[in-house]
Amino acid sequence: MKIAVSLGTRPEIIKLAPIIKLLESRGADFFILHTGQHYSYEMDRVFFQELELPAAKFNIGAGSGTHARQTAEILVGVEGILEKEKPGIVLAEGDTNSVLATVLAAVKLHIKTGHVEAGLRSYDRNMPEEINRVLADHCCDYLFAPTQKAVGILRGEGLPEEKVFLTGNTIVDAVNLMKDRAAANRRVLAAHGICRGNYFLVTVHRQENVDVPERFAGILGALKTLLAEYRMPVIYPIHPRSRKNLSALGLDAGGLTLIEPTSYVDFLALELNAALVLTDSGGVQEETCILRVPCVTLRDNTERPETVEVGANILAGASRENILNCAELMLGKKPAWPNPFGDGTAAHRILQIIGAGA
């Protein structure tokens, strides 16, 4: 059986890497299809290099654009590749436009599809990611749920039990692959003049935060106050969208340490050594939970409620006062919570389920 692995963004590369590496080690018949949704070196190629992944056989080069334009371009590109290659199954991960377009192209060609990290819900339809993940789940033949809660969500939506599989989350596999290198990485700390436990790490990139002046301003105001009150640097690897909006909205990040997006090993090292991480990223909520670093989520909801339930994470929204209160609370947390995302063998389980096991 030929397997197509479709990816297009930084998180997808990271979370599909354990599956790709297993396929490669087993000499499986597979290829990587890259949509090109993320396309800069910092957001794309560096992850292939660090994770030692084979190059994509195809790259659609979709780039950025409106949701409709980007989704349509990927849909057309994926359809042509699948018609030519005729894989037996297509695997996609997550909640991006790349995932939705890939799944739609495959199911309309009557090709089996598997959704890695199925069953996540924020129940906020204002998030484009929520639309993507719901539609992908209801189209796919295999739903690889990372937690029992995700299994319950999928069954509660009436999806057939025989399609739903509890596998754990491949992010655990990925972190396990790289955490020793991250723990030994002192170069990235030295580069920014910081030391273990003496800085805050921030990521803010979602459109509901960086496209809305009041929310982005509230978050930046809280970060500046943290800098002043705790006298610790605030390290912000800034996403291209966030940098663009910072300028367009006339906002000031004065005092914060803005850096370019980092490699995976560098970012894991920054997470591992931070006093506290503040983020609107789903993947970062998972990674900090696994690494046992306290997290404040700069959103009103999360599709990773397990991180909140075990005490690794707290929802703060975008209000300056709420963020500061939540930061104070999480800084006093003992990092003794359990990891709710599995034992690091999710990739192996997924390949067994689709008949590509060792």
Domains of the chain are: 3-169+342-353 (3.40.50.2000), 179-331 (3.40.50.2000)
What digits encode the pLDDT tens for the residues 138-193?
A: 999 999 999 999 999 999 999 999 999 999 999 999 999 999 999 999 999 999 99
Taking the C-alpha atoms of residue 13 and residue 32, their distance in angstroms, rounded to an integer, is: 10
Does 104 score more than 80 pLDDT? yes
Say which residue, 64 or 80, is predicted with more confidence. 80
Q: Is the whole model's pTM more than 0.85, yes or no?
A: yes
Supply the Cα-derived Rg of the chain in whole angstroms: 20
Q: In this model, does residue 134 exceed pLDDT 60?
A: yes
Question: Between these two residues, 46 and 343, which has the higher pLDDT value?
Answer: 343
Query: How much is the pLDDT for 61?
Result: 85
pLDDT tens readout for residues 281-312: 999 999 999 999 999 999 999 999 999 999 99
Mean pLDDT of 107-119: 98
Task: Provide the annotated active-site residues.
Answer: 205
CA distances from 348 to 105, 120, 131, 204, 355 (A): 26, 21, 28, 32, 11
Which pLDDT value is given to residue 239?
Answer: 87
Most distant CA atoms of the chain, gap in Å: 59
Q: What strand order describes the sheet that includes 200-203? A: 257-259, 234-237, 200-203, 276-279, 295-297, 313-315
- Please name the residues in contact with 41: beta carbons below 8 A apart, sequence gap of 6 or more: none
| Position 221 pLDDT exceeds 80 | yes
- At how many degrees (to 10) do helices 128-139 and 97-108 cross? 30
Label residue 42 by pLDDT band (50, 70, 90). low
Q: How high is the pLDDT of residue 41?
A: 47
- Does residue 264 contact residue 14 with C-beta atoms inside 8 Å? yes
